[in-house]
Amino acid sequence: MEPVHRGLGRCVCCFWLAVAFDIVGLLVLLIGVFVNVFFYDLLIYAGAIVIFLSLIWWVFWYSGNIEVPPAELEDDVGLLKKDRGALSGISGAVRRLSSRVSGGIRTSFRRNGAPSSRSQRSARGAPVAVPMATMTPQGVTPHTPVSSVAGCDVEMPHTTTETSPT
């Protein structure tokens, strides 16, 4: 027989931590508001942050005390009853179909490897080498004067753009 938890429930430690965080946060916040110190704004912000952090303990305490009857847990953990009638047949058929489809997809990925892009891999999965040729300028002088600033000629080197054949 399971123990009966009364009062604060199962997570008593989380409850008292939440209460302690709330009390400390409220005290720090009120000290920042009512005591004349030069760092009052730090105390106000710190108190608000501590009160906000107490929400973590309140969530732990609340979620730790949620009670779910075992009848509702049967579907979640795979303990299905055999006498569910017509609904059991439909859900069993859907479950079998789902496992067949997901199993087929899983084995196709194992057989073929990861999905590949045609431009990056060949038919056997090896990387494709793309040759690149260096292009030389045709009939262009290597340095061309661009402009004259204060009597000085500024020369810019000629650059070319390399492209791969498509």
90-116 pLDDT, tens per residue? 777 788 888 888 888 878 777 776 554
pLDDT value of position 45: 97
State how far the alpha carbon of 66 is from the alpha carbons of 10, 62, 63, 71, in Å.
10, 7, 5, 15
Reported as a single tens digit per residue, the pLDDT across 120-141 is: 444 555 666 677 767 666 665 5
Residue 148, burial from CB neighbour count under 10 angstroms (0-12, 13-18, 19+)? exposed
How far is 1 from 28, CA to CA, in rounded Å?
A: 45
Reported as a single tens digit per residue, the pLDDT across 153-165 is: 666 666 767 777 7
How far is 22 from 55, CA to CA, in rounded Å?
A: 9
Flag whether the pTM goes above 0.85.
Answer: no
